[in-house]
Amino acid sequence: MTLEPNGVATANGNGAVNGTAALKAAVSAPAPVPAEGKAVDLSHHLSLVARSRMPSPLKDILTYMHLPGMISLAGGLPHPSLFPFQSLSTSVYHPSTVLDPANPVPPSDGITIDIARKAQPGNVSFLERDLQYSGAAGFKPLAEMCKALTAAVQPPAYADWDVLINCGSTDAWQKIVTLLCERGETVITDEQIYPSAQAAFIPEGVKCLPIPVDDQGMRPDALCAALDAWDTATQGPRPHVMYLVPVGQNPLGSTMQAERRKEIYAAACKYDLVIVEDDPYFMLQFEAWDPLAPSDESATPPADFMSKVARSFLIHDTEGRVIRLETFSKTLAPGLRIGFFVANSMFIERLLRGTEVQNQQPSGFSQVILGETLARWGTEGYLQWCAGLCEQYRVRRDWMLDALSSELALTPSAETMVATINGRKVLSFTPPIGGMFIWCTVHFDEHPGYAAFVGDGPDRRDKEHEFETAFWKKLVDARVLVTPGWYFTPYEGQGVPSSNNEPGKGYFRLAYSFESKEDMEEGIRRLANVMKAEWA
């Protein structure tokens, strides 16, 4: 996205805006000039279920309800005077709030949002919209804010896109699986994948095609090679859906930059793939960690936050083959259970038909609280809040990286930091520039007892896993808990080993989002001590 002198955003795919002033202009300007091209016809990607959905006949009747003078005995809604809630009130931070990460005391002031059943004449929205059945499309002002946010930050490179509110990304991803996938098909994923994302489609009889990754996530060369080598006779239908977490991938912590995205997108066009971009950590994109410089603990958001982030696949999407899953769970609160889809209008219409029978609409309480918060903050205020939030997590990332650096001797090697003990490699990782996780490779092959333990027999993989598990248990005994790497192994079908370790290597995931600085430091110290004892 670049910004024209008149402050209108246009998509050109370079993924940068010129600082906050320009962003402010973009956000406050009229809607950006839309891209002119339309999405290509992707209806062949729809599942049989998605193709079979029909609008409810009850919708037809709505047009008649609005005829002048009509008395409707057709509705069937409960009477809003009988909802016993009189008011709803919340207090939300000013979007400019900067907390001390080490001691995050809530500010004494805040923005009060009061919603009452009789606040002012004609204000019936609390009863008749927020508390009533209100339609699968979600509250219109909220949907419009989600659309404005997308248009301002990362407008798709085609014209006929739309948004649809959902109940958070778990809900969203299940809806996408139902929209696109059939039993016997295979979804393209990264080499490691969040287990709950897999659990949405494995029971549906859908498998993974894991693609090798590097520090930016999925490798386009490996993707093309896997698809070129695809054998429909033995592997089933050619994959047509790709699931990606492009920023702060869970568990890999990798973030994909614009050039890599263009390559992946080109492959998606070539092989006719739909890219599902699950992007909960989009707003958590950090400056690179500098192992030699002291970390800034002030958490003051930079003025040019948005100029540095890698933008959505949407800005490269000339054909309408990206479905973006955006959520407020990481930026505001998971308890809201609200996110939104961005996709071509054909997919959005099918998702709306699905939503009507899948869960009707998100909570009215959540929708009104979110909608009023965004209305008070404005799109610009929301981005300001996210810039501050990003810094909070940047500081937390630095706490953990600093602790790793001080407990284990780290040596940079390309993008990777390597810890050695007595000249033996122990641990390596790429310091993340997004998200909440550090993905660590454990070099068991340099452990003094490893080779003898695993041997070279046919049970080698079992012995490797046994060794890895024993190591993880030693961490538990030392009272530091890490997430085992094998939790994230993609399911490739029956008979394929449930571990995709490189021989001699193991993995675990560290999260820096939640624990205090002191606990992170103590946790990493315990981890380092176990490693020192083991690799000594």
Which of the stretches 5-13, 20-28, 220-228, 358-366 binds a second copy when contact is defined by CB under 8 A? 358-366
Angstrom distance (rounded) from CA 449 to CA 451 = 6
Considering the rule CB under 8 A, would residue 495 count as an interface residue with a second copy?
no
Q: Is 76 in the site for a second copy (CB under 8 A)?
A: yes
Binding residue for a second copy (CB under 8 A) from 244, 389, 408, 421? 389
Single residue of 14, 415, 519, 533 touching a second copy by CB under 8 A: 519
Applying CB under 8 A, the span of 7-15, 34-42, 167-175, 257-265 interacting with a second copy comes to 167-175
Closest CA to 218 of 238, 186, 193: 193
Residue 204 engages a second copy in binding (rule: CB under 8 A): yes
Query: What is the 8-class DSSP label of residue 434?
Result: B
| DSSP-assigned beta bridge partners for residue 113 | 90
Nearer to a second copy, 140 or 270 (CB): 140
Stretch that binds a second copy, among 9-17, 19-27, 316-324, 514-522 (CB under 8 A): 514-522
Given candidates 5, 36, 44, 69, which one binds a second copy under the rule CB under 8 A?
69
Q: In the structure encoding, which two tokens stand for residue 496, read together?
A: 């394929």
Binding mask 408-437 for a second copy (x = CB under 8 A): ----------------------------xx
Does residue 481 touch a second copy according to CB under 8 A?
yes
Q: Which is nearer to a second copy, 116 or 222 (CB)?
A: 116
67 contributes a contact to a second copy by CB under 8 A? yes
Residue 222 CB, shortest distance to a second copy, in Å, is 25
User: What is the distance between the alpha carbons of residues 380 and 9, in angstroms, rounded to a whole number?
Assistant: 14
Distance, CA of 457 to CA of 438 (rounded, Å): 33
Beta bridge partners of 506: 442
What is the distance between the alpha carbons of residues 465 and 454, in angstroms, rounded to a whole number?
9
Q: Between residue 3 and residue 62, which ones bind a second copy under the rule CB under 8 A?
A: 48-50, 52-54, 56-58, 61
Contacts of 519 (CB under 8 A, 6+ apart): none
How buried is residue 265: exposed, middle or buried, by Cβ count under 10 Å (0-12/13-18/19+)? Answer: buried
Give the residue with the Cβ less far from a second copy, 321 or 396: 396
In this structure, the strands spanning 424-429 and 416-421 are antiparallel
- Contact between 381 and a second copy by CB under 8 A: the answer reads no
Q: Contacts with a second copy: how many residues (CB under 8 A)?
A: 116
Dihedrals phi, psi of 248, to nearest 5 degrees: 55, 45
Query: Which string of x and - marks every residue 212-241 that binds a second copy (by CB under 8 A)?
Result: ------------------------------
Using the contact rule CB under 8 A, the part of the chain among 21-29, 147-155, 261-269, 393-401 near a second copy is 393-401
Structure tokens at 14: 């370079």
CB crowding 52-76: b at 16 or more within 10 Å, else e: ebeeeeeeeeeeeeeeeeeeeeeee
- Give the C-alpha distances (Å, rounded to integers) separating 78 from 74, 83, 128, 215, 475: 12, 9, 10, 54, 56
Q: Return the residue of 357, 375, 409, 533 that touches a second copy, per CB under 8 A.
A: 357
Q: Closest distance between a second copy and the C-beta of residue 305, in Å?
A: 16
The answer to whether residue 335 forms part of the interface with a second copy (CB under 8 A) is: yes
The residue type of 487 is Y
Q: Which of residues 92-131 bind a second copy (CB under 8 A)?
A: 92-93, 95, 97, 99, 104, 106, 110, 117-118, 130-131
Shortest gap between Cβ of 282 and a second copy (angstroms)?
14
CB of 407 to a second copy, least distance (A): 13
Site string for a second copy, 276-315 (x = CB under 8 A): ----------------------------------------
State which residue, 32 or 371, has the beta carbon closest to a second copy: 371
Least Å distance between CB 480 and a second copy?
5
Smallest separation, CB 329 to a second copy (Å): 7
Q: Which residue from 200, 245, 256, 419 is in contact with a second copy, where contact means CB under 8 A?
A: 200
Q: What's the CA gap between 242 and 87, in Å, rounded?
A: 44
Chosen residue from 12, 43, 91, 298 binding a second copy by CB under 8 A: 91
- For 172, other C-beta atoms within 10 Å of its C-beta total 24
The contact pattern for a second copy, residues 170-189, with x = CB under 8 A and - = no contact, is xx--x---------------
Instruction: Provide, rounded to whole angstroms, the least separation between the CB of residue 429 and a second copy.
Output: 13
Provide the minimum distance between the beta carbon of 439 and a second copy in the complex, in angstroms, as a whole number. Answer: 12
Residue 530 to residue 357: CA distance in whole angstroms: 52
Is 515 an interacting residue with respect to a second copy (CB under 8 A)? yes
- Find the part of the chain contacting a second copy (CB under 8 A) among 37-45, 78-86, 270-278, 305-313: 78-86
At CB < 8 A and 24+ separation, what contacts does 234-239 make? 235/186, 236/184, 236/185, 236/186, 236/207, 237/182, 237/184, 237/185, 237/186, 238/271, 239/185, 239/186, 239/187, 239/188, 239/209, 239/273
Alpha-carbon span 470 to 464, nearest angstrom: 10
Q: Which residue, 35 or 480, has its beta carbon nearer to a second copy?
A: 480
Contact 350, 176 (CB under 8 A): no
In sequence order, the β-bridge partners of residue 217 are 214
255 near a second copy, rule: CB under 8 A: no
Cβ closest to a second copy, residue 56 vs residue 406: 56
**3-state SS, one letter per residue, for 271-318:** CCCEEEEECCCCCCECCCCCCCCCCCCCCCCCCCHHHHCCCCHHHHCC
